[in-house]
Structure 1
Amino acid sequence: MRRIITFGTFDVLHVGHIRILNRARSHGDHLTVGLSSDELNLNKKGRCPVYPYQSRLELLTSLRFVDDVFKEESLELKREYILQHKADVLVMGNDWEGKFDEFKDICDVVYLPRTPSISTTEIIEIIKEVHT
């Protein structure tokens, strides 16, 4: 069995998220997602997610190509998360190109192209504009 792992916030779930998760799963037999905690997202992006952790967890676990989800509480623990979940491949969006190459000693690292013209930040900004 080839085990895949990826990480993200997956806030305001959109087609870009669906496509990258589905493509990540196609690299193996089992997809585990490290879902950023609300606190990690606040530290990382300077804002809380629109949807709280439990809602994002429910959305991700309902996807047929996601096999397991765990709470990512620290960016510094990625190596431990990869080892703990026995991942053979780390898959991330290509906006992170090169940033996870340090893990090539414990797993393959694959960067997938993101869906053009869509991002959670952009969607949030459009919604804010419409409602102000």
Structure 2
Amino acid sequence: MRRVITFGTFDVLHIGHVRILQRARAHGDHLTVGLSSDELNFSKKGRNPIYPFSNRSELLSSMRFVDDVFMEESLEKKRDYILQHEADVLVMGNDWEGKFDEFSDVCEVVYLPRTPSISTTEIIEIIKDVNG
């Protein structure tokens, strides 16, 4: 079995998230998602996610192409997470191109193109503008 792992916040779930997860799963037989904790998201982005971890986890877990979801609590533990979940492939969006090459000694690293013209940050800004 070829095991794939990816990481993200997956807040305000949109078609770009769905497509990258589907394409990540196509790289193997089992897809594990390291889902950023609320605290990790705050430390990365300076804001809490719109939806709490429990809701985001439930949404991802309900997708037929996602086999496992776990809480990513630290960016510094990526190597540990990859090894713990016995991943053969790490898949990330190409906005991270080159940033995870250091893990190529323990798994294949693949960067996938993101869905153009959509981002969680943009959606949140549009909602803020509409609500004044």
Band of TM-score, shorter chain: over 0.9
Does residue 4 (structure 1) correspond to residue 4 (structure 2)? The answer is: yes
- Distance in 2 (alpha carbons) for counterparts of 1:45 and 1:101: 23
SS at match of 2:32: strand
Does residue 57 (structure 1) correspond to residue 51 (structure 2)? The answer is: no
Moved over 4 A (4+): none
Q: Which runs of 5+ in 1 are unaligned?
A: none
The residue number in structure 2 matching 1:71 is 71
- Distance in 2 (alpha carbons) for counterparts of 1:113 and 1:52: 27
- Distance in 2 (alpha carbons) for counterparts of 1:99 and 1:67: 25
SS at match of 1:65: coil
- Report the CA distance between 1:63 and its aligned residue: 0.2
SS at match of 2:11: coil
The residue number in structure 1 matching 2:89 is 89
Amino acid at match of 1:69: V
- Distance in 2 (alpha carbons) for counterparts of 1:46 and 1:5: 25
Amino acid at match of 1:126: I
- Distance in 2 (alpha carbons) for counterparts of 1:108 and 1:62: 26
- Report the CA distance between 1:57 and its aligned residue: 0.4
The residue number in structure 1 matching 2:47 is 47
RMSD: 0.2
- Distance in 2 (alpha carbons) for counterparts of 1:23 and 1:11: 19
Q: Which runs of 5+ in 2 are unaligned?
A: none
- Report the CA distance between 1:123 and its aligned residue: 0.1
Give the total of aligned pairs. Answer: 132
- Distance in 2 (alpha carbons) for counterparts of 1:80 and 1:53: 21
